[in-house]
Amino acid sequence: MQKKVDIEDLNSIRSESNFKDYSHIKIGNNVQYLFLPRSMSDLVLIFDFASKNKLAIFPIGGGSNVLLGNVKNRVLFLDRKLPKICEINSDEVLVSANYNINSLILKLKKSNLGGLEFLATIPAHIGGIIKMNAGAFGKNISEYLKWIKVLNKKGEIEIIQKEKIEFSYRKSSIIDYILKAAFKLEIKSEEEIDSQINKFRRIREKTQPINFPNLGCIFKNPKGESAGKIIDECGLKGEKFGDAEISQKHANFIINKGNACFDDVKNLIKLIQAKVHAKTGIELELEITVLN
């Protein structure tokens, strides 16, 4: 009979910190099962623990687009302590899912590899970016993807070719935990890459509230529409609950102006959805993940 994995088996990688310390919007509570794995064997142990104790598992990645409330019996883990790899071969690169996209863009620049500059300044890790098919300025990460290596719910590792994955707007069919990804990129000069990075950074600095803790765009854009524009036209910029505020700079951003809590942001989300639906009939769909 196989031994049941107990919480004591995971104490060395268990985090005692408040999730607020890891969240990009600086909101979160203490989590009963929050782990920071350091190796593949740690990951397998976490998956075994969740499976044998019949607990739902949720990878947090870098914590850049997750709003965390009361997670109850969920098992959560962050990837920041896992080994980081980036192997470059001509115009192809193999990178670990926990690589920060901005660090990756700058590293690739030194090898004259570009294409991902449209994601510059987004505070996210590669795994989350792939899973949600992140994009901007008419481009998506999936355009450059070749394959991914995943750890499935059974604790097995497998490689999935891009052709086997369904990608759509801010969505993919990926259900397993991404370990690594392979990309085919564009040969560019360092000057050209720098120019693109600076261009996209200037646009974001001008149009987005990057000086306040936030989770990026809260809602997906309805087809042919801009969620931010719709929210703005409903007169919702500047609306607040506690220290959570709909940004005056970009209405599809909710910012934390100090000590916002989960309920503050959740109430703003509900307000936006209700007002937009009442005025336009449009039901805004979340782009971020809300765990409550």
**Of 22, 54, 78, which one is at a domain's C-terminal end?**
78
- The answer to whether the CB of 266 falls within 8 A of the CB of 27 is no
SS3 label, residue 35: strand
User: What pLDDT is attached to residue 3?
Assistant: 62
Q: Is the same domain home to 96 and 189? A: yes
Q: Quick one: 32 and 116 in the same domain?
A: no
pLDDT band at 2 (very low <50, low <70, confident <90, very high): low
Q: What is the mean pLDDT of residues 113-127?
A: 95
The answer on pLDDT for 102 being more than 80 is yes
Q: Quickly list DSSP for 220-244.
A: PPPTTS-HHHHHHHTT-TT-EETTE
Could you give the CA distance from residue 169 to residue 142 in angstroms, rounded to a whole number? 10
Query: Domain limits at 93?
Result: 86-193
Does residue 147 lie within any of the structural domains? yes
pLDDT at 237: 97
For residues 53 and 108, the model is more confident at 108
94 and 47 in a common domain: no
65: nearest Cα among 219, 178, 197, 201: 219
> What's the average model confidence in pLDDT over 96-105?
96
Question: Is the backbone of residue 87 left (phi > 0), alpha (psi -120 to 50) or beta?
Answer: beta
Percent of the chain with pLDDT over 70: 99
Residue 59's domain is classified under what CATH number?
Answer: 3.30.43.10
| Mean of all residue pLDDT scores within the chain | 94
Question: What is the percent of the chain where pLDDT is above 90?
Answer: 82
In the block, residue with structure tokens 């809300």: 290
- Please tell me whether residues 174 and 223 are part of one structural domain: no
Q: Are residues 229 and 276 in the same domain?
A: yes
Average pLDDT over residues 104-124: 95
Residue 216 lies in a domain: yes
CA distance 94 to 283: 39
Q: Does this model's pTM top 0.75?
A: yes
CATH number of the domain to which 287 belongs: 3.90.78.10
Residue 1 lies in a domain: no
Say how many domains are in the chain.
3
Could you please report the per-residue DSSP string of 108-167? Answer: HHTTTEES-GGGTT---BHHHHHHTT-EETTEEGGGGEEEEEEE-TTS-EEEEEGGGS-E
Mark which of 30, 62, 78 sits at the end of a domain: 78
Quick one: average pLDDT of 36-50? 93
Summarize pLDDT for 122-151 with one digit per residue, the tens: 989 999 999 999 999 999 999 999 999 999
- Sign (positive or negative) of CA dihedral 256, 258, 262, 266: negative
Q: Tell me the CATH number at 118.
A: 3.30.465.10
CB 282 within 8 A of CB 222: yes
Residues 6+ apart with CB under 8 A from 6: 49
Specify whether 221 is located in the same domain as 181: no
Is 183 a member of any domain? yes
Q: Among 27, 52, 78, which residue terminates a domain?
A: 78
Q: Could you tell me the pLDDT band of residue 1, with boundaries at 50, 70 and 90?
A: very low
Assigned domain for 203 exists: no
Q: Which residue(s) pair with 177 in the sheet?
A: 151
- Asked if residues 17 and 23 have their Cβ atoms less than 8 Å apart, the reply is no
d(CA 114, CA 145): 13
- Please choose, from the candidates 32, 289, 60, 62, the residue with its C-alpha nearest in 3D space to the C-alpha of residue 171: 289
Q: Residue 2 falls within a domain, yes or no?
A: no
Amino acid at 131: K
Please write the tens of the pLDDT for every residue from 194-238.
999 999 999 999 999 999 999 999 999 999 999 999 999 999 999
Distance between CA atoms of residues 145 and 124, nearest Å: 17
Of 15-19, 39-43, 83-87, 144-148, the least confident: 15-19
pLDDT for residue 152: 87
Tell me whether residue 204 is in a domain.
no
Q: Do residues 187 and 90 share a domain?
A: yes
Residue 172 domain-assigned? Answer: yes
